[in-house]
Amino acid sequence: SIDRSVIGPDNTYRHRGPARVFTSERAAVRAIKGQSDYPVQAGDIVVMIGVGPSGTGMEETYQVTSALKFIPWGKTVSVLTDARFSGVSTGACIGHIGPEALSGGPIGKLRDGDILEIVIDRENLIGQINLVGTDGQDLSPSQAAELLVKRDPHPDLHPHVLLPDDTRLWAALQEASGGTWRGCIYDTDRIIEVLKAGVAVLNEKERAK
């Protein structure tokens, strides 16, 4: 059931807090449980990146919300990720974020300490996640957009070394089709168009040698 204590009188969920960025579910869980040098604290926003299709095959990340569920202040922490959640996840968790980090999505450029703001209007089913500050400075929407364009991807961002070839192929087809942000479907015509364009570019490179 909905915890009314985290919902405003206008039926809107709001959370403004510092990002804690992780590139694996295991690292996030350890920090939530206080088993790392830099534990997650009340009010933080946990951001898991590189766990979408191209990173780990879009793994299910229930363990993070499960760990938060049994911490007294767990409901004050939100979770953002390009991975997915199971149906038993609880709390403020936003998954399937796209473009995924390894496809150049803004989520892959976040850093520890960035100030994020989450607003979810439960009446109109409208939500937004914004970068609103960094290094102790507030950012306007245009400043945040400019920063994310110029900033390099997170230095620890990379595909899992054991990601199987069939999963890599599926992830590539997802991206060529428009990405997970277009829905969990394949746009066959789009994939064929992208493949043809890619072959044309490769052929041009071969002729230029």
Instruction: Enumerate the active-site residues.
Output: 86
- 50 burial via Cβ count (<10 Å: 0-12, 13-18, 19+): buried
Q: How many CA atoms lie within 13 A of 175 on its CB side?
A: 20
Q: Pairing state of beta strands 78-81 and 137-138?
A: unpaired
Are residues 171 and 54 in contact, defined by beta-carbon separation less than 8 angstroms?
yes
H helices of the chain, where?
Answer: 25-32, 53-56, 62-69, 141-150, 165-177, 188-208
Structure tokens at 122: 């439960």
Name the phi and psi angles at 124, rounded to 5.
Answer: -100, 0
- The distance of Cα 148 from the centroid of its chain, to the nearest Å, equals 14
- CA distances 54 to 21, 48, 111, 157, Å, are 18, 14, 20, 11
